Structure 1
Amino acid sequence: MKLSIIDQIFLLSTFLSATASPTTTSHVSISVNPKTQFQEIDGFGASQAFQRAEDIFGKYGLPKVNQTLVLNLLYDEDAGAGFTILRNGIGSSNTSTSNLMNSIEPTDPGSPSAKPDYVWDGYNSGQFPLAQQAYSRGLQTLYANAWSAPGYMKTNDDENNGGYLCGVTNEHCSTGNWMQAYANYLVQYVRFYKESGVDVTHLGFLNEPQFAATYAGMLSNGTQAADFIRILAKTIKASKLDVEITCCDGIGWDDQEAMMAGLEAGPDPAINYLDIVTGHGYDSAPTYALSTKKKTWLTEWADLTGDYTPYTFYENGGPGEGMTWANHIQVALRDAGTSAFLYWIGAENSTTNSALINLIDTEVIPSKRFWAFAQFSKFVRPGSRRIQATSSSANVTVSSFENKSGKIATQLLNQLDIEVDVSVQISGVKAGVTVTPYITNNDHDLKALTHIKAGNGGLFKTQIPAKSMVTFVTA
């Protein structure tokens, strides 16, 4: 029998309807096992370097009430995201004009062995009072990181445009070897903070050493970084200051991996003096574990190119969207085993995506990126451990963490266009225990949903809306 065109179209439409995705997927099973534990979590945060701290304190007219709002959003565990890490920029400029960060030794002493003329203004481009305010709200880690040594310590006699630290392997200067002077400089920065009542807990001396930026920066390979680490470690020990050493903030995860061989080499491996290995996500994302037994931190990453998208959790998978960053964080913690994740800037007066919170003159606009961070930082506290978590669907991804308090926070990211039914079983959770879901999507910002009671074996069932992130927190 020959079918008419109309009959053929009808049969085709019937077939497509029968094979199309339903309004919900088939059942997705999530299994969480707290007995299998992985890396310790140190926290989440951002930087306010290059005078961005002053944006918070009203440089562009932000009123006092909104200054407090921003500080609470960033650092208060109850009122905001509860960030516990702040990354300071150690300045290398002899001026604080524009966005430059002033040096504590702005004047060239003339030689590496000459007495330095250190200067402390108690302000540090707004970063010192910011650190005070952050600590008062629960900050636990202050990471001071130099983008460059002062220009007179470098092969190009300039804090900008790359150049190497005088004295590292294969890099010599007519003025001599400045490695010890640079170590003294960094330790003095920590001492100034300590004497003023604020503890610097971690100290770094490089930022993106593969990139000769037009702004402050300094080039280095792994071997050259190792040369300096050995000297810095001895200098810190002699100072009796309690501060941990980080290295090397590679511009991408692959770039940091390429430095590991140099840090591990030699009869006196520099890795032995390091506490944290640090890298960025720009050139390559943190999708695998670095070749080290040390803790690793993702210390900078941002959308520097995308359109202004503060209100979008998901539209088309753009680089500034909240879901994009929820996925970045989850992958870094789960697949790369990082112990910390930091965005570039926490808050700034800008209509770009380079900050988590946009400050536009007097206005405060937390982005969906910020709320994606808060889904982790608010419930995954320092000292928690990542625990085993699996999903039966590759499109509904999961991560889970057990806090020192015993509370378990489990993040589900539904990357599908449809709502999904899920069952979550958390081994060891007793029947009757309250589980609170918190959702972030295009419609909600970390909104608490109706409590769920766990059943036998820690099992509960619920739904996750399309393109949403839900964190389940046990009581």
Structure 2
Amino acid sequence: PAWMKDNNNMKQGGKLLPQFYNSWATYYTKFIKEYEKEGIPIWGLSIQNEPMATQRWESCLYTAEEERDFLKNHLGPTMVKEGLQDKKIIVWDHNRDLIYQRAQTYFDDPEASKYIWGIGFHWYEDWSGGQPMYENIKRVHEAYPDKHIFFTEGTVESFNANRYNAWVLGEEYGRNMINDFNNGMVGFTDWNILLDETGGPNHVQNFCFAPVHGDTKTGKLVFTNSYYYIGHFSKFIKPGAKRVIASASRSQLLTTAFRNEDGKTVVVVMNQGDIKTPYFLWIKGQAAELTALPHSIATLIF
């Protein structure tokens, strides 16, 4: 709420005033209980969406130390006091660029770390003109293997209905999911599974693509290729699956693999190139000859 922040505004960044730390922690617990009273179970929560970004929409800034201290001195104890210690608490919830530095601050403090299920991240580090920093996910996974690394938001921005069939939509999801899973990510959530024909609704005109768009005038649903790219993971890789090592010998091919609890192996292969690419799937000395069509994704189960 605006009155809890130093800029007296729910939007445009600003910081939570220290005198309201306890009140804000209590607000979280009341929110969870009211939702569950209506039959909507809450699995977990993050402390703050994008705590390093001053946004034109609702936002609040925290340094790593401020977020850590709010958790260990206020939110964590309050969640326990209210009997909500089973809810998963996720820290950071921002881009890969600073995830390792933030992780050190949270996880190296045992009094904060004991409340943390995992660390969340987004894929927007290209805001500075750079490339996705997948290696930072690996660094966190190697340094803190007992903590879960969870993708909490990603979307393709700048909605344009003329680009519904653009390959970049699905490939953005496939490329990120494969690389992040291979580096230690344990789960993925999209920004919005369904938006309207404008890429909204959105109260600050931040119109984006979604896997599915519903035309509010005609009732028609448009399934973009990102819907099907996500399905190659969500449909075949089951909860509880364990990742197994997989590597590609062609730079245009990306791959990841999982072993489901029923013993079946799932291999996802994505061709991000413009040419048809033959390849061999090698498993323990046996091989199957296959072909990846240009700009395609396939799932192999055996």
**TM-score when scaled to structure 1?**
0.55
2:134 aligned to 276, 283, 287, which one? Answer: 287
Shift of 1:340: 1.4
Distance in structure 1 (CA, Å) of the matches to 2:172 and 2:121: 19
Task: Tell me the number of residue pairs that the alignment of Structure 1 and Structure 2 aligns.
Answer: 278
Match of 1:139? none
Residue 354 (str. 1) matches residue 230 (str. 2)? no
Report 1:187-336 matches (<5 A): 187-230=29-72, 231-241=74-84, 242-250=86-94, 252-266=95-109, 268-284=110-126, 285-288=132-135, 289=137, 290-291=139-140, 292-293=144-145, 294-305=147-158, 307-308=160-161, 309-313=163-167, 320-335=168-183
Shift of 1:307: 4.2
Distance in structure 2 (CA, Å) of the matches to 1:306 and 1:346: 14
Superposed CA offset, 1:51-87 (max 9, x none)? xxxxxxxxxxxxxxxxxxxxxxxxxxxxxxxxxxxxx
- Shift in CA distance, 265/323, structure 1 to aligned 2, threshold 3 Å: closer
Structure 2 counterpart of 1:359, which letter?
Answer: G
Shift of 1:394: 2.2
Superposed CA offset, 1:391-434 (max 9, x none)? 2222222111111122211011123322222221334xxxxxxx
**TM-score when scaled to structure 2?**
0.85
Verify the 8 A CA contact 1:210 1:255 in the aligned structure 2. no
Shift of 1:265: 4.8
Unpaired segments ≥5 residues, structure 1: 1-149, 168-176, 314-319, 428-456
Shift of 1:458: 5.2
Distance in structure 1 (CA, Å) of the matches to 2:40 and 2:160: 37
Unpaired segments ≥5 residues, structure 2: 127-131, 200-207
Residue 372 (str. 1) matches residue 229 (str. 2)? yes
Distance in structure 2 (CA, Å) of the matches to 1:260 and 1:238: 25
- Shift in CA distance, 396/283, structure 1 to aligned 2, threshold 3 Å: closer
Superposed CA offset, 1:424-448 (max 9, x none)? 1334xxxxxxxxxxxxxxxxxxxxx
Distance in structure 2 (CA, Å) of the matches to 1:181 and 1:247: 19
Structure 1 counterpart of 2:213, which letter?
Answer: N
Aligned-residue CA RMSD (Å): 1.9
Superposed CA offset, 1:270-297 (max 9, x none)? 2232101011111243512253331111
Residue 467 (str. 1) matches residue 260 (str. 2)? no
Distance in structure 2 (CA, Å) of the matches to 1:469 and 1:312: 14
Structure 1 counterpart of 2:106, which letter?
Answer: L
Distance in structure 2 (CA, Å) of the matches to 1:264 and 1:326: 29
More helix by share: 2
Verify the 8 A CA contact 2:125 2:133 in the aligned structure 1. no
Superposed CA offset, 1:182-239 (max 9, x none)? 1111011111122222321111220111111121110001100011111211111111
- Shift in CA distance, 234/393, structure 1 to aligned 2, threshold 3 Å: same
Match of 2:20? 178
Distance in structure 1 (CA, Å) of the matches to 2:297 and 2:233: 10
Verify the 8 A CA contact 2:159 2:209 in the aligned structure 1. no
